[in-house]
Chains A and B, each alone.
Chain A
Amino acid sequence: MDMTLLVALPIILPLLFGAVSLTLLKNHKAQRWLAVIGTFSILLAACALMWHCQQHGIIVLEVGSWPAPFGIVLVADLLSAIMVLLAAITGVATALYSLKTVLTRFERFGYYPLLHLLLAGVNGAFLTGDIFNLYVWFEVLLVASFALLIQGGERAQMEGAIKYVTLNLLSSALFLTAIGLLYGLVGSLNMADIAQRLTQVEDQRMVTVVAMLFLIAFSIKAAAFPLFFWLPASYHTPQVAVSAIFAGLLTKVGVYALYRVFTLIFNSEVEFTHNILLWMAVLTMLTGVLGAAAQFEVRRILSFHIISQIGYMMLGLALYTPLALIGGVFYIMHHIIVKANLFLVAGLIYRLRGSFELKRLGGLYKDHPGLAVLFLIPALSLAGVPPLSGFFAKFILIKAGVEAHAWWAVGIALLVGLLTLYSMMKIWNEVFWKAVPSPAPAIPAPGGNGLLYCITGSLAAMTIAIGLFAEPIYQLAQQAATQLLNPQLYINAVLGAD
């Protein structure tokens, strides 16, 4: 088999399994099996892609053999491969978790086909090398996420969905505007070709204007300050499995797009663009964590923490030094696993106690010490306690900040880490440590929690593993950052060295 076809597999597989799953809509058992087999096959493909990327460098597939820059290309550099692998891990965890938690009536309305479609959209966005194709994949994943978000049709879901849909469509329209202006400037859609041609554009001010449009469009998708309001309004409303995959993946597609565009295409006016990014990163961290401090519902607290963590990832891009980019990539790897896991644990809490409200929960440490440990590992990792994955992620970023003399950013990053710890301890105290509030809530006690424990346990094990074996992960992030800082590698791989 031609090795470059491997790049298309993470997109083709979920589309294929989604289509088959859709034809078997009535057969719930088949759908569940397809979800498990489908996500595991994506995981295998993602691992193979990762391995090839490390061995052979950037892999490029010219779709339909139309040569770049005329046809659409799929490009897998290390950052893309890492993102696809993380998406695959989250996909497997969510699919397995869904087996026990998703109600039959949602399965009847196409839960599993939508899950496949969502993964296809996410992987497509990570792998495409064409800016308009990126827009198309964004829409694919958005449509799937819209439908997943409102399954259930409750009032809160409707209210949240209107904000989610509106702001994401606004962001898509701005993205499309930016693509139109960029195409008018350089006459190309291939990202490598755009990067090359932009240096020859005379009016560099226009380039910066377009860069700002991309920044706004992707910042809305990434839920960065001040454009994050759709996220805390909607992420706590759907089923837990949906919340988990949204929390793990969707905002990270926005972050990935920022990383791609602001390293490959808009890298000429770094003092201006990346300075704005730095301020946005700092304010995102701060507002997210302060928002979380004011919440008393587990999933809402976690939603606000997504925002503050996005700030750290943007900080890595904003500082734009080799070490900062390593830190940013490391942070993304750590964050996706931890965040999805925290939502899955929140789902377990709900299964055992029937509530997400802090004041109605309590005493879980006594009754379910295993769950308490499973919560504590990702929670402490999120706050950055050694030796878990979050410690090294934060450490690299803060060291990069010190080296770049960005003292304000460093100070706030440290403060936000502390406040994150406060938030996590708030959940710990209220949910696990304090006595059961009286009158004791009715406990539904559904069976089949063993599989759910296994899933969250595996993700927690990954968090520990990233912390204990930080060196190989660091080297991987370093290789990815080296590629990001040398866009010529990407350009040569796509257009051929000349």
Chain B
Amino acid sequence: MTTLMAILIGCLYAAAIYMMLRRSVVKLVIGLILLSNGANLLIFTAAGLQRGVPPLIDKGQQMIAGAAADPLAQALILTAIVISFGVLAFAVVLIHRACEVVQTDDMNEMKGTD
């Protein structure tokens, strides 16, 4: 399962970089979305995949007996999703405004400040 996830994450990263290298700013943002999703899945996988073992401590026990899913990784992903949602919403508005102001969605036309 981990191998499969690793391949999937690799594909997401590759697709993201490919999209970011395209000239259209819309594809640029799609690339950013794929990248943040890839990173979230990577945290999920790197922390160790567990099926059907919620991290609940039995009554009267101090620690979890045996393997359990890592709740911290899920908390991290939740935080990262919220952050990337906010930031990407900003990015979408930005490219919308940029397309209005510059009158094109071609990155090659947007080099007035370089």
With both chains docked as a complex, state the minimum distance between the C-beta of A82 and any C-beta of chain B, in angstroms: 28
Query: Complex: how many Å from CA A184 to CA B45?
Result: 8
* B 27-57 binary contact with A (CB < 8 Å = 1; else 0): 0100010011011101101111000000000
Chain A, 163-196, contact with B by CB distance < 8 Å: what is the 0/1 string? 0011001101100110111011001010000000
**Closest B residue to A132 using CB positions:** B76
Describe B's contact surface by its main secondary structure: helix
B8 interface residue per 8 A CB criterion: no
CB of A237 within 8 Å of the partner chain: yes
User: Is residue A383 within 8 Å, beta carbon to beta carbon, of the partner chain?
Assistant: no
B58 within 8 A of A: no
Distance (whole angstroms) from the CB of B27 to the closest CB of chain A: 11
Chain B: residues with Cβ within 8 Å of the partner, total of: 37
From B39, B86, B98, B114, A232 is in contact (CB under 8 Å) with B114
Q: Kindly state the separation between the CA atoms of A229 and B102 in the bound complex, as whole angstroms.
A: 20
* Across-interface contacts of B38 in A (CB, < 8 A): 173
The minimal Cβ–Cβ distance linking A111 to chain B, given in whole angstroms, is: 17
Kindly list chain B residues whose C-beta atoms are within 8 Å of the C-beta of A156: 112-113
A176 touches B80 (CB 8 A): yes
A142 at interface, CB cutoff 8 A: yes
Which residues of the partner chain A approach B28 to less than 8 Å between Cβ atoms?
162, 166
| Cβ-based interface call for A153 (8 A) | yes
A208 to B98, CA, bound (A): 40
Inside 8 A of B90's CB, which chain A residues have their CB? 143, 146-147, 165
CA gap between A135 and B97 in the complex, in Å: 27
Q: Which residues of A contact B20 (CB under 8 A)?
A: 166, 170
Q: Name the residue on A nearest B91 (C-beta).
A: A165
For B109, give the chain A residue with the smallest CB separation. Answer: A159
Inter-subunit contact B102/A181 (CB<8 Å)? no
Give Cα A153 to B93, complex, Å.
Answer: 12
The reply to whether A162 and B94 contact each other, CB–CB distance below 8 Å, is yes
Encoded as 1 (CB less than 8 Å from any B CB) or 0, chain A from 126 to 166 comes to: 00000010011001001100110010011110111110011
CA distance A181 to B102 in the complex (A): 40
**Cα distance A23–B69 in the bound complex, in angstroms:** 42
Q: Is B73 an interface residue (CB 8 A)?
A: yes
Please tell me which one of the listed residues B35, B46, B72, B97 contacts residue A170 in the complex, with CB atoms under 8 A apart: B35
Inter-chain contacts of B80 with A (CB < 8 A): 135, 176
| Contact (A159, B39) CB under 8 Å given A136-B79, A183-B47 | no
A63-74 to B contact mask, C-beta < 8 Å, 1/0: 000000000000
Asked, given contacts A139-B83, A143-B87, A158-B98, whether A176 binds B43 with beta carbons under 8 Å apart, the answer is yes
When the two chains form their complex, are residues A155 and B39 in contact, meaning their CB atoms are under 8 A apart? no
Q: For the complex, what is the distance from the CA of A146 to the CA of B97, rounded to whole Å?
A: 13
A229 vs B110: C-alpha distance when bound (angstroms): 14
Decide if B112 touches A159 in the complex (CB within 8 Å): yes
Q: Is A236 an interface residue (CB 8 A)?
A: yes
Q: List chain A residues, Cβ under 8 A from B95.
A: 162
B89-112 interface mask toward A, CB cutoff 8 Å, 1 = contact, 0 = none? 011001101100110000100111
Do B46 and A159 touch across chains, with their CB atoms under 8 A apart? no
Nearest Cβ distance between residue B88 and chain A, in whole angstroms? Answer: 8
Report Cα–Cα, A150/B113, bound state, in Å.
14
In the assembled complex, the Cα of A234 lies from the Cα of B28 at a distance in Å of 18
Chain A, Cβ-Cβ closest to B42: A180
Known: A169-B32, A173-B36. A150 touches B97 (CB 8 A): yes
Subset of 11 A-B contacts with CB under 8 Å: A146-B90, A158-B101, A162-B110, A166-B32, A169-B87, A169-B91, A173-B38, A176-B36, A180-B43, A189-B76, A237-B113
**A181-B46, A183-B72 provided; 20 other pairs, C-beta below 8 A?**
A132-B79, A135-B80, A136-B79, A143-B87, A146-B87, A150-B97, A156-B112, A158-B98, A158-B102, A159-B110, A160-B113, A162-B110, A166-B20, A170-B35, A176-B39, A179-B43, A180-B42, A183-B73, A184-B45, A234-B113
8 A-B pairs with the lowest CB-CB distances in the bound complex, closest first? A184-B46, A180-B43, A158-B98, A176-B39, A159-B110, A173-B35, A180-B46, A160-B113
